[in-house]
Structure 1
Amino acid sequence: MQKTILVVEDELILREIIKDYLLNDGYKVIEAADGKEGLNLFQTNEVHLIILDIMLPEMDGWSVCRRIRKNSDVPIIMLTARVDEDDALLGFELGADDYVTKPYSPLVLLARAKRLLDSRYRIQQPSATLSPHSNNEQRNNILSISGIRVNLASRTVAVDGELVNFTYTEFEILTYLMQNKGIVITREQLITKIWGYEHEGDDRTVNTHIRNIRNKLRCKSKLISTIVRTGYKFESSL
């Protein structure tokens, strides 16, 4: 099935460049020049990924991201011309999955989009490098630990039987930690696993996503332990 990408960028030249690269790679592209138009297109079309500029007329990218995340986990890549890392962190706090800083290579942006789409919409298979604690449920695309149940095929998370909405990146991080429960995972390992070697962010990127995940896990948040100056570990039980 052809994937549809929504590009929300107010600079016409940049929008056209992005569109050309995506079309050449076989994607369907719909485009918007401001935040309100982008939000309307998302609500009236089946969209598989959004490339979203932060500085937009009518409604900025942060506001658009916030509105979309109220009821959708569609992958979002944010574009920012600002060099302040806090801009990217705010985007992550609002639920963005990745960000690219201007000026950027269209090939890099295309690679980020393909990574998110390929991971988000393929049928998940159990990892070949699960920890020694793997069980029958893991082999059947289910991870279940202390009331947290993750379905790898449908990419859903239930906490004590209640479905909780996770973004693409939050889902990937939670799954990676659960598959390696009892093992300390460094921040560098998480960055490489989730974003790849070329990622521009620092440790705060990981910390922000972990905070979001803990908030969604509510009373189960303590299952993710912070290992000072190292990383995180998913505990076997509370």
Structure 2
Amino acid sequence: MSRAERASQAVILVVEDEESYVDALTVGLGREGFEVVVARTGAEALTRFSEVNPDLVLLDVMLPNVSGLDVCREIRASSNVPIIMVTAKSSEIDTVVGLEVGADDYVTKPYRLRELVARIGAVMRRRSPTPVDGERDTDGAMHDPLADRLVGGDVTVDLDRHEVTVRGEPVNLPLKEFDLLTVLLENPGRVLSRATLIDRVWGGDYVGDTKTLDVHIKRLRSRVEPNPSTPERIVTVRGVGYKFQSVS
């Protein structure tokens, strides 16, 4: 089915092998207005992903034959589609690994449908850029109204094409990292609190703690910093949040 044929109905690829969750999600998400496509193994998930081109993937970590983490890595190699990982474990290491391989968010079983729908809405929400055209901050970042770009030293974000270049080389960013970098570049040199960043990137209905933000910052630094262990562009302001500093 093409996107035109789907009209405005968002398609969620549910990758889950527990039938009780499959049945509940198919009914519950269907009532929320989503079209649900189901895959029960990692291998089937990759096939179905190519076939349906979903708007979001709800991906269980524990799957037969190919793990959810491997499925996430495979999808991230070619797509920025939002991914929410589902885990039966509440340990920090399981959560962090899921985020580090490219997931945008996570939920832990058992979860409530209301919580899941809130996370899906926050992940899928797109934010419109807000800077004043042509405005340049003292730290050097500028919004280019002709190309609809944000430029901060050797980092450039093309908002229309959803492309990022760092030191002249293209960098493929997942959705949330792209949004996070955009917010930081829109406010060069300004310290943004963790609460502000979460609200701007994940939305006011975000359910969770700041761990998700910190993991995404770590991943973003690995892509834009020459030496992520000593960041010069995305700087931590201890006890407050983060700021972007332009470095040519």
TM-score range, shorter chain: 0.7 to 0.9
Q: Deviations over 1:18-65 (max 9, x none)?
A: 122222233222101121211221123312210001111222211111
- Secondary structure in 2 aligned to 1:183? coil
* Residue in 2 that maps onto 1:201: 209
- Are 1:172 and 2:175 counterparts? no
Output the aligned Cα RMSD.
2.4
Q: Decide whether aligned partners of structure 1 residues 68 and 135 sit closer, same or farther in structure 2, where only a CA change above 3 A counts.
A: closer
Q: Decide whether aligned partners of structure 1 residues 235 and 136 sit closer, same or farther in structure 2, where only a CA change above 3 A counts.
A: closer
Rounded to whole Å, the distance in 2 between the matches of 1:193 and 1:208 is: 16
- Secondary structure in 2 aligned to 1:190? helix
Contact 1:21/1:110 (<8 A) preserved: no
- Secondary structure in 2 aligned to 1:222? coil
Deviates more, 1:140-149 or 1:208-217: 140-149
- Are 1:31 and 2:41 counterparts? no
Contact 1:144/1:150 (<8 A) preserved: yes
Counterpart of 2:112 (choices 105, 109, 116) is 105
Rounded to whole Å, the distance in 1 between the matches of 2:167 and 2:66 is: 37
* Residue in 1 that maps onto 2:235: 225
- Are 1:42 and 2:40 counterparts? no
Rounded to whole Å, the distance in 2 between the matches of 1:145 and 1:67 is: 30
Contact 2:118/2:205 (<8 A) preserved: no
Report deviation, 1:153: 2.8
- Are 1:234 and 2:234 counterparts? no
Structure 1: runs of 5 or more not aligned: none
Structure 2: runs of 5 or more not aligned: 1-6
Rounded to whole Å, the distance in 2 between the matches of 1:201 and 1:180 is: 23
Contact 1:185/1:232 (<8 A) preserved: yes
Contact 1:143/1:150 (<8 A) preserved: yes
Contact 2:58/2:85 (<8 A) preserved: yes
* Percent of aligned pairs with the same amino acid: 37
- Secondary structure in 2 aligned to 1:103? coil
Contact 1:126/1:140 (<8 A) preserved: no
Counterpart of 1:80 (choices 81, 87, 94) is 87
The count of aligned residue pairs is: 233
* Residue in 2 that maps onto 1:126: 129
Rounded to whole Å, the distance in 1 between the matches of 2:233 and 2:113 is: 39
Q: Deviations over 1:189-221 (max 9, x none)?
A: 32333334543233x432221121111114385
Contact 1:78/1:98 (<8 A) preserved: yes
- The structure whose residues are more often helix, as a share, is 1
